[in-house]
Amino acid sequence: SQQGEEDPQALSIQEGENATMNCSYKTSINNLQWYRQNSGRGLVHLILIRSNEREKHSGRLRVTLDTSKKSSSLLITASRAADTASYFCATDAGSNYKLTFGKGTLLTVNP
Amino acid sequence: SQTIHQWPATLVQPVGSPLSLECTVEGTSNPNLYWYRQAAGRGLQLLFYSVGIGQISSEVPQNLSASRPQDRQFILSSKKLLLSDSGFYLCAWSVGQGTYEQYFGPGTRLTVT
């Protein structure tokens, strides 16, 4: 079964609105990462949050991590049509090298 | 700066034919290298990873194999393709001992007919 599961599976919003995606995982982690994938392209790393961090910001992105609930959220503020993509969380499940990816949230931002 | 290349970009192969996908990384030394497969509408499945030349770890038993003949070259192969091998194949690299950021190539779309 997947270590990370994103929720919702799909999200459609209007330009300018905020988008929130959630990720739940099952086992202890060293860090949790979020990636973005435009249709038919490779993944792009967005942000990494370590297990001892609770919140991290990068531009319009805000990631939170709650290790007691084994969950994370990705907030994109003031969304743009160019933010339309699939977003994946990835966890290491305590591994040294491997990441396990969820199935992703498909975000559509309508102009 | 570091770059990662994958080729070919798209491939259509008949069932039973061989496969060779290549991935090369430029601008870094001793990277960790990864092969993933992504089925339509699904997440990424880790197939193989390598932390050094000749060191391959297999995650999913199947008719695929991987090799790392040079420090920055990673090859995914099959002797006989199955229909279920169709998918989007992604190569990625990272550095260091630990689960740090991974950097992905553009991918290869494989269709087995």
Walk along chain B (113 residues) in steps of 10 and give the mean pLDDT of each run: 94 97 95 93 89 90 90 96 95 86 96 97
pLDDT tens-place string over residues A57-85: 999 999 999 999 999 999 999 999 999 99
B97/A45 CB distance under 8 A: no
Binned at pLDDT 50, 70 and 90, residue A1 comes out as very low
If you count DSSP H runs as helices and E runs as strands, how many of each does chain B have, helices first? 0, 11
Per CB-CB distance under 8 Å, the chain B contacts of A98 are: 46, 49, 59, 99
- Nearby residues of B73 by Cβ (< 8 Å), 6 or more positions away: B22, B23, B24, B25
Q: Which two tokens stand for residue A72?
A: 């994370």
- Nearby residues of B72 by Cβ (< 8 Å), 6 or more positions away: B24, B25, B26, B28, B29, B31
Distance of CA A16 to the CA centre of its chain: 19
Distance from CA of A57 to the nearest CA of B (A): 16
CB of A75 closer than 8 Å to CB of A18: yes
